[in-house]
Structure 1
Amino acid sequence: MVDDLYPAATPELGERRKELAPDIEDAFDRFSREVFKAGALDEKTKQLIAVAVAHVTQCPYCIRGHTKLADRKGASSEEVMEAIWVAAEMRAGGAYAHSALALHALNDIKPHTDNGNG
């Protein structure tokens, strides 16, 4: 069912993107190659980061592609899953941390009510 939701990433779609904006496509390709080459971080680590971020951005194409690339760069299944759990915790942690906004708003409206009955 998920496969029906998103069209397959085909060479034809890639060519169409390039046809519609060739300079931008080329710039993005160069940027991507530069970002993912080994530097202060090795390529495997960069792909594990990409897997985690792909889960936060919820991009099925990125999840599939970067998981395969992480595997090719030597990441174990356990490392991939741990990266996904880190992403899950960070996303949940963001919601938890942002509760401060709601608590401040409630304090501005009802400064001394904390019994949950409104």
Structure 2
Amino acid sequence: MSDLTYPKPTRELAEMRRSLNPEAEAAFQAFSKAVFSDGALSGKTKQLIAVAVAHVTQCPYCITGHTKAARRAGATPQELMEAVWVAAEMRAGGAFAHSTLMLSTLESPLS
């Protein structure tokens, strides 16, 4: 991450965020822990999904954090890259699918 665009996450910034609204911070941490726990999907699969979503939302903090978490959960570099390709296809697919709006507009009379 570029230091010019995104501040480096630090303990001080995390503590500041926590101190400004400790209840919300605790609730978010509990929610995150519950979401990424093994369930119908394994924690590893959930982290791979998170890496893919992070690429679509283009969150550099999420990309870094969930890539590390996925590796700790046993994801391979190949699995991570495949997840990114799925994300890329989904993002491109959205543009392709929405072309129906353009095509239906072409069929409408000009106003």
TM-score, length-scaled by structure 1:
0.89
Query: Where does the alignment leave 5 or more consecutive residues of structure 1 unmatched?
Result: 111-118
RMSD: 1.2
- 2: CA distance, partners of 1:96 / 1:109: 23
- 2: CA distance, partners of 1:48 / 1:109: 46
DSSP 3-state at the match of 1:108: coil
* Residue number in structure 1 paired with 2:5: 5
* Residue number in structure 1 paired with 2:27: 27
Q: How does 1:88-103 map to 2 (within 5 A)?
A: 88-103=88-103
Deviations 1:51-102 (A, max 9, x none): 0000000000000000011001100000000000000000000000001111
- Aligned-residue offset at 1:15: 0.8
* Residue number in structure 2 paired with 1:113: none
- 2: CA distance, partners of 1:20 / 1:100: 46
Q: How does 1:20-59 map to 2 (within 5 A)?
A: 20-59=20-59
- Aligned-residue offset at 1:104: 1.2
TM-score, length-scaled by structure 2:
0.94
- Work out the percentage of aligned pairs sharing the same amino acid: 64
Deviates more, 1:37-46 or 1:101-110: 101-110
- Aligned-residue offset at 1:32: 0.3
| Higher gyration radius (CA) | 1
Deviates more, 1:57-66 or 1:11-20: 11-20
Query: Where does the alignment leave 5 or more consecutive residues of structure 2 unmatched?
Result: none
User: Following superposition, which runs of at least 4 residues in structure 1 exceed 3 angstroms of deviation?
Assistant: none
